[in-house]
Amino acid sequence: MSGLVATRRVLHFLLLTGLAGAFAVLSESWVPATAILPLTGTIVVALFEVLLPLPRWARREVGTGVMLREDELAVTVRMGFCVMPYNLTIRERFPEGIGLKDHSQTPVRIVTTRVKGRKNQLLEGTYVLQARRRGDWDLGACRVVRTSMLGLFERAADLPTSTQATVLPVTAEQRGMKLAPKPLGPEGIPTRTGRRGPGDTFYALREYQPGDSMGDVNWKATARMGKPITNEFLPDEPARYLVYVDTRSFGAEVGKVDAFERTLELGAVLVEGLVGAHAHVGLVLLSQQAQFKVPASGAVHLQKVRRMILGALPGEEAPLLQLVEGGAPHLPRRTSAILVTPNVYEPTLQKTLTFLKAHHGTVLLLVPAFPEPEGGNETAERAAGALLNADQAAVLADLRNYVDGAAQWPPGQSIVMTLARLGLIGRMRSGGHA
């Protein structure tokens, strides 16, 4: 697809030509008429220049094509050679999740290569993409534009070249956080102690061996047996978490999509941070139906979970309790549940938390606050957003009776601080803000 477009500058040139001609007629002088010749000649030359052939093919090179949200990706576009390439520009039409970094595009230049001893000339241009929203994005056809002298005419062509770019959810490292979940105590409740040893459950007595901790020596048994005796403990079980993420359409509508994205981001960072701390973590997406990954650990499991979050879309409205009861896997009580939802006004939320409490023992609630509009001209909207967040915090205070911990994630606050209020963080690393 190509087309010739005349810019507003052509109208300016035609207006100047008409004024010069009118002045020449009225003054009956040939001197003003001489201005018509260069103006007309400029338009004719510009029209001839823009009608020169355009490249017939193009291809993009984006490396692996995979990046994290907020990352940058260098793109190289190579095209077939054509005459006068110096007035060519590349004008891509990017999908909503990817944008062009300011001042990153380079002019089209000639590149000379050799193939089997023969010299070959190509055209090359580069630019930098910025990842703005998670998802699989198709960059579509490459648009090349030839601009004529003084920008009077433009002629564009869409060169077929389909390129995929994948933007993965934000990572815990991007948010400057490192989680170390506290060991689980009776009924799956995280303990307050930071002690991390071979285990806390007594198993048997045995003779002391070199390398055993002196803190594990049973002095009463040692005095009775006449030789050093050590307590043997069962190994600690890994902490288990099941993260429920509310991906229904309500969150997208009220938060104008931003609340929905913030909810997914919080879920993604939370899962990665817990997996990085060697916990077993599962994920449940509450949409039209509940999709879940059972708790596991390791890089392969984390990649599967991230792919699951990558493809999440706002689902139809449905009672939260119905989704949780219908799709929640029945897991041991020593699995702690973390519900991430932007909607504290859900009518069935209290019953949902009661259901999770009965099945998991420990239930934590994380609520992303609704984003407030930015800009000085939106004072009323900002005030309404602040009021909504304050009302949300008040409702959240009433829900604390149904959970073991609850926290709101305000815009601009580090997610590290939010999770620390729930007691999920044992170590923190500075840097990164939500």
pLDDT in tens, 396-409: 888 888 888 888 88
Q: Which pLDDT belongs to residue 388?
A: 65
Evaluate whether residue 188 is within a structural domain: no
Q: Is the pLDDT of residue 202 over 80?
A: no
Least confident range from 221-230, 254-263, 341-350: namely 254-263
Q: Which residues pair with 290 in a beta bridge?
A: 286
User: Are 164 and 258 contained in the same domain?
Assistant: no
Q: Is the pLDDT of residue 255 over 70?
A: no
- Mean per-residue pLDDT, 23-52: 76
Q: Which pLDDT belongs to residue 186?
A: 45
User: Are 313 and 395 contained in the same domain?
Assistant: yes
User: Are 272 and 360 contained in the same domain?
Assistant: yes
Asked whether 243 and 284 are in contact (CB, 8 A), the reply is: yes
Q: Which pLDDT belongs to residue 384?
A: 53
Asked whether 382 and 363 are in contact (CB, 8 A), the reply is: no
Q: Is the pLDDT of residue 182 over 60?
A: no
Q: Which pLDDT belongs to residue 385?
A: 53
User: Are 91 and 36 contained in the same domain?
Assistant: no
Distance between CA atoms of 108 and 231, rounded to whole angstroms?
74
Residue with tokens 């052509």: 10
Distance between CA atoms of 62 and 77, rounded to whole angstroms?
9
Distance between CA atoms of 324 and 326, rounded to whole angstroms?
6
Evaluate whether residue 184 is within a structural domain: no
Q: Which pLDDT belongs to residue 220?
A: 87
Q: Which pLDDT belongs to residue 190?
A: 47
User: Are 230 and 245 contained in the same domain?
Assistant: no
DSSP letter at 332 equals -
Evaluate whether residue 329 is within a structural domain: yes
Evaluate whether residue 189 is within a structural domain: no
User: Are 356 and 213 contained in the same domain?
Assistant: no
- Mean per-residue pLDDT, 68-73: 79
- Mean per-residue pLDDT, 206-220: 82
The string of pLDDT tens digits covering residues 134-180 is 888 888 889 999 988 778 888 898 998 888 888 877 777 776 666 66
Q: Which pLDDT belongs to residue 198?
A: 52
Sheet containing strand 280-286, strands side by side: 290-296, 280-286, 240-246, 335-340, 363-368, 405-409
- Mean per-residue pLDDT, 362-376: 73
Distance between CA atoms of 51 and 429, rounded to whole angstroms?
59
Domain end position, chosen among 113, 145, 168: 168
User: Are 387 and 247 contained in the same domain?
Assistant: yes
Evaluate whether residue 187 is within a structural domain: no
User: Are 391 and 249 contained in the same domain?
Assistant: yes
Which range has the top average pLDDT, 287-301, 323-337, 411-425?
287-301
Distance between CA atoms of 210 and 199, rounded to whole angstroms?
19
pLDDT band for position 231 (cuts 50, 70, 90): confident
Distance between CA atoms of 362 and 344, rounded to whole angstroms?
19
Q: What is the CATH number of the domain that holds 352?
A: 3.40.50
Asked whether 392 and 219 are in contact (CB, 8 A), the reply is: no
Query: Is the CA virtual torsion 281, 286, 290, 291 positive or negative?
Result: negative
User: Are 134 and 28 contained in the same domain?
Assistant: no
- Mean per-residue pLDDT, 225-243: 80
Least confident range from 217-231, 274-288, 306-320: namely 306-320
Asked whether 328 and 302 are in contact (CB, 8 A), the reply is: no
- Mean per-residue pLDDT, 53-75: 85
Say if strands 280-286 and 153-159 run parallel, antiparallel, or are unpaired: unpaired
User: Are 264 and 372 contained in the same domain?
Assistant: yes
Q: Which pLDDT belongs to residue 188?
A: 44
* Residue of 256, 100, 259 lying closest to 165 (CA atoms): 100
Evaluate whether residue 434 is within a structural domain: no
User: Are 27 and 143 contained in the same domain?
Assistant: no
User: Are 73 and 20 contained in the same domain?
Assistant: no
Q: Which pLDDT belongs to residue 310?
A: 81
Which range has the top average pLDDT, 11-15, 75-79, 176-180?
75-79
Q: Which pLDDT belongs to residue 357?
A: 87
* Residue of 107, 50, 114, 115 lying closest to 83 (CA atoms): 50
Q: How many other C-beta atoms can be found within 10 angstroms of the C-beta atom of residue 406?
A: 22
Residue type at 392? Q
Q: Is the pLDDT of residue 106 over 80?
A: yes
Say if strands 135-138 and 240-246 run parallel, antiparallel, or are unpaired: unpaired
Asked whether 143 and 158 are in contact (CB, 8 A), the reply is: yes
pLDDT band for position 433 (cuts 50, 70, 90): very low
Q: Is the pLDDT of residue 13 over 70?
A: yes
Report the share of the chain in percent with pLDDT over 70. 79
Evaluate whether residue 1 is within a structural domain: no
Least confident range from 42-46, 82-86, 173-177, 189-193: namely 189-193
pLDDT band for position 123 (cuts 50, 70, 90): very high
Q: Which pLDDT belongs to residue 428?
A: 38
Evaluate whether residue 20 is within a structural domain: yes
Mean pLDDT of the chain: 77
Q: Which pLDDT belongs to residue 333?
A: 62
Q: Which domain holds residue 88?
A: 58-168
Who has greater pLDDT, 342 or 33?
342
Q: Is the pLDDT of residue 254 over 60?
A: no
How many domains, in total, are found in the chain? 4
- Mean per-residue pLDDT, 321-338: 73
pLDDT band for position 253 (cuts 50, 70, 90): very low
Least confident range from 7-16, 291-300, 372-381, 418-427: namely 372-381
